[in-house]
Structure 1
């Protein structure tokens, strides 16, 4: 990973549809070496996938709920069941295991409170939890898929 790779990744994070020739021009390379770098970044899994970011309002899923879960079940069988149940629910867009007072945090995208209630009922049917607390986002102040690249180690090629 060098500074040119970081520049390539920064451009791709903003718009993964940019042609290699355009990326090459912006980072000061010719097209072929730039394309090779992009392929290597993909092979080495720095680039996990290329996706389209969709508009939640137009798709009627503009209610964001954060669900904090505590459990008294700290065993592999419960964890496997919980991970499968949550991962299989389409509304779930982020799912984290945490340190601290909260064991898990789930972010869901829904059209309304009624849909959250239906989601909640499906979730508690599948898995026992000791405490579930939901918070609804009132406003999105910042949301990005772009990772900070200044922490990536720079090495000579």
Structure 2
């Protein structure tokens, strides 16, 4: 990977739907070599896909909560059971296996606080090997440099 590849990635991170011609112009290539580079980056899984960023409020997910999960047991079977269960929950947008006070950090999006209370009590707390859930309700999300 060279500086041109890094430039391509930087542009695509901010503007995933940009045309190849515009991308080529921004990174200083002609369209054909630019397209070859993008395809190579896709084939080697440096670019793993493209997605739309959806406004959570527009789809009934106005409340974002970060939940720290501690497991009671850490055997391979318990971890696998937890991970299989957690990826089935559509309210969980991201799941990170972390170090520190928690075993997992989740990003959860639901309509409102009563919806999270229901999700917490009837889904999170009932997952395999869950010892504790610590919730952090998001008050405001700031834009990132890529937005």
> When the two structures are superposed, what TM-score results if normalisation uses the length of structure 1?
0.87
Which residue of structure 1 aligns with residue 17 of structure 2?
A: 17
How many residue pairs are counted as aligned between the two chains? 146
Q: 2:75 aligned with 1:79, yes or no?
A: no
Distance 1:113 1:49, change over 3 A: same
Distance 1:60 1:143, change over 3 A: farther
* Distance in 2 separating the partners of 1:32 and 1:123: 49
* Distance in 2 separating the partners of 1:127 and 1:119: 15
Which residue of structure 2 aligns with residue 65 of structure 1?
A: 65
Which string of whole-angstrom CA distances, capped at 9 and with x for unpartnered residues, describes residues 109-155 of structure 1? 11111111221212223323221111101111245778xxxxxxxxx
> When the two structures are superposed, what TM-score results if normalisation uses the length of structure 2?
0.92
Which residue of structure 2 aligns with residue 138 of structure 1?
A: 139
* Distance in 1 separating the partners of 2:116 and 2:80: 23
Structure 1 unaligned spans of 5+: 147-157
Structure 2 unaligned spans of 5+: none
* Distance in 2 separating the partners of 1:141 and 1:43: 33
Whose relative contact order is higher, 1 or 2, with alpha carbons under 8 Å and at least 6 apart? Answer: 1
Which string of whole-angstrom CA distances, capped at 9 and with x for unpartnered residues, describes residues 52-105 of structure 1? 111112112121111111122010111111001111100111111111221111
Question: Which runs of at least 4 in structure 1 moved beyond 3 Å after TM superposition?
Answer: 142-146
Residues 85 and 123 in structure 1, CA contact (< 8 A), matched pair in contact too: no
